[in-house]
Structure 1
Amino acid sequence: MIRELPSDLAKIAKEELNEKPKRTKDDVKHLKDWIAKQPHLNARTDDQWLVAMLRGCKFSLERVKQKLDLYYTLRTTAPEVTLRILPTEDKFVEFFKLGSCLVLPKPKNKLFPRVILIRAGVYDPEKNSVADIMCVLYYLVQIAIIEDDVASVLGTKIMVDYQGVTMNHFVQATPGLLKKMVSVCQDSMPLRLKGSHHTNLPSGVEKIFTLISGFLNEKAKQRLKIHKTPADLMEHIPKEIVPTEYGGDGGPLVDIIEYWVSKIKEYQDWMRQEVKFGTDESKRAGKPMVKEMAGLDGSFRKLEID
């Protein structure tokens, strides 16, 4: 069942994404028929998931096919990014409760991209990895875009707080892992990134930003902003959704975490099905879609972080 958009959101979808409601049903059917004919592809075919993919590709069917294929190919070929901790496992919820990755509430009276808060410094690098944050992000985004048309139409903004990040955190982010994480987020997910905002950066991380920028497309590069203060940050993100801990009116982090823990539990049956999707590369016709990412096995162990 495809949800009907409210008029204000429908207007944006039409103008910015080329969405035509009378055609959407046929587009979704076309994608389902196409997926059924791909012997290597085991993909989700829920209506709202496919609509989110269509919106993420501005209703270009060929782009959607490429993105769907890449999405499930990376599920199979980059499990260290997408399946390191599974949303059906207790340790996923235990890690999530640290609040390393959260989708912030929506503004009450205005349309605004959904904001994702990432706080890498809250986890113990002796116990967890930056890839665990990627896993949480991976599944939260799926829930958000399926449930919330604002997320699939207006996209998302990412707010990254580096408070508490140490060298032990940074050395986990090898160039190869960073490239795979960017590929999953930027190239395969129906995630329309409208901006990334970074605050509390320790000195000495310029090399990492330089490397990450090399993997980003031009729009993502232009939308990457560094902020020195929370006040500066809130010029770009509504104060009413920013958590109390950052000087906003969005409520304490513990309440936001509690909301999403309950949401993850609500989606357990959905998640059990989700982790089974992927590709069987032995059945793929033609050349492999994802080439080996060679020459990216270095680390940042020599980087000095203050």
Structure 2
Amino acid sequence: MVGEYVCTLSEELQKRAKEEINEDPERRAEDIQHIRDWLKHQPHIKARTDDWTILRFLRGCKFSLQRTKEKLDMFYTCKSLCPEWYKNRDPQDKKMRAILELGGMLPLKGRSVRGARVVVARLGLPAAVNFTMDELTKVNQLMIDLLMEEDEAVSVTGLEIIIDIEGMTLTHVAQMTPVFVKKAMTMMQEGYPMRPKGLNYINTPAAFDTVFNIFKTFMKEKMKRRTHFHGSDLDSLHKEVPKEVLPVEYGGTNGTIEDIKKYWLQRVDARRDWLIEDEQYGVDESKRPGKAKTSADLFGIEGSFRKLNVD
């Protein structure tokens, strides 16, 4: 979607947007313009200013103009402070392609019992050991960006993520340092307008408790309440995400992982120009009014780390 916003939501989702996130169709254009004018007066932020991008942030902040401004600033700040995740995202790049072809992060068609769009993240794929967590995270973020850009409903319904830990190696667990986890959680909770509705962990080994305790330290209370552990019990998962949404590998009826992977490889290729162009947006801290922000400001763990309980 480029330029002027054209609504593609069903009547049901338009009603939900009014009730849940304070969207007023009569005021929407005015709110979008207000944020666009504000962005023009931020010398440090280079942002997308099309209607759809701004609307996505307004929805993610329930149309609070102040929160929208804060989230946009945080989003573009995180992008610039995490070049390892947001630079060189050409899907035709050899290494990027190899990771994309693993199918480690796949949005599914259909919705959870809460009406959210569902994404499955397979963190323990055997071939994933050939790449660093930063390289894998770059592709995971790319897939989330693409889904949010292409499916308007996500901006209203939110996202639910299934995290499959099966096969995850100590090599990757060791890279999930408190700093890495803080960075990931800050980006997703403070920077993205994504309305997370649930985290469903499956196939979790006992050793994962240690890693999850680090994640939990940086999770908002609301997110902790929306976290579910299913072990290897697919019946338990099906109570949160219906079988008709899941691929056959997870006891579902919604195609195979291979089918879903092929579909998303096509979408990534179709949006290659958008992904490459997207790298130019971010912040220039030398132009920020007041004090420049640093990685230590956003992702430093002093204080937080003392609260960790990793027994």
2:93 maps to which of 83, 89, 93: 89
Residue 193 of structure 1 and its aligned partner are, at CA, apart by 0.4
Q: Show the 5 A alignment for 1:205-224.
A: 205-224=208-227
2:64 maps to which of 60, 65, 75: 60
Residue 141 of structure 1 and its aligned partner are, at CA, apart by 2.1
1:268 maps to which of 260, 263, 272: 272
Alpha-carbon displacement from aligned partner over 1:87-126 (angstroms, at most 9, x marks no partner): 4634223201101111111259x98211111111115455
Matched, 1:238 2:242: yes
Matched, 1:19 2:28: no
Distance 2:281 2:256 in 1: 35
TM-aligned CA distance change 1:35 to 1:188, over 3 Å: same
Runs of 4+ in 1 over 6 A off after TM superposition: none
Residue 150 of structure 1 and its aligned partner are, at CA, apart by 1.7
TM-aligned CA distance change 1:207 to 1:71, over 3 Å: same
Matched, 1:163 2:166: yes
Q: Show the 5 A alignment for 1:190-209.
A: 190-209=193-212
**Conserved? CA contact 1:57–1:64, under 8 Å:** yes
Residue 205 of structure 1 and its aligned partner are, at CA, apart by 1.9
Alpha-carbon displacement from aligned partner over 1:26-71 (angstroms, at most 9, x marks no partner): 1111111111111111111121111111110001111111111111
**Conserved? CA contact 1:84–1:132, under 8 Å:** no
**Conserved? CA contact 2:106–2:120, under 8 Å:** yes
Residue 285 of structure 1 and its aligned partner are, at CA, apart by 0.5
3-state SS of 1:121 partner: coil
3-state SS of 2:62 partner: coil
**Conserved? CA contact 1:98–1:123, under 8 Å:** no
Matched, 1:285 2:281: no
TM-aligned CA distance change 1:295 to 1:142, over 3 Å: closer
**Conserved? CA contact 2:111–2:241, under 8 Å:** no
Residue 247 of structure 1 and its aligned partner are, at CA, apart by 0.9
3-state SS of 1:149 partner: coil
TM-aligned CA distance change 1:219 to 1:96, over 3 Å: same
Aligned to 2:34: 30
Distance 1:288 1:3 in 2: 37
TM-score by length of 1: 0.91
Q: Gaps spanning 5+ residues in structure 1: where? A: none
Question: Over aligned residues, Cα RMSD in angstroms?
Answer: 2.2
Give the partner amino acid of 1:274. Answer: D
Number of residues of Structure 1 aligned to a counterpart in Structure 2: 298
Give the partner amino acid of 1:198. Answer: Y
3-state SS of 1:138 partner: helix
TM-aligned CA distance change 1:152 to 1:88, over 3 Å: farther
Residue 6 of structure 1 and its aligned partner are, at CA, apart by 2.2
Residue 174 of structure 1 and its aligned partner are, at CA, apart by 1.2
Give the partner amino acid of 2:158. Answer: G
1:174 maps to which of 156, 162, 177: 177
1:40 maps to which of 31, 40, 44: 44
**Conserved? CA contact 2:89–2:276, under 8 Å:** no
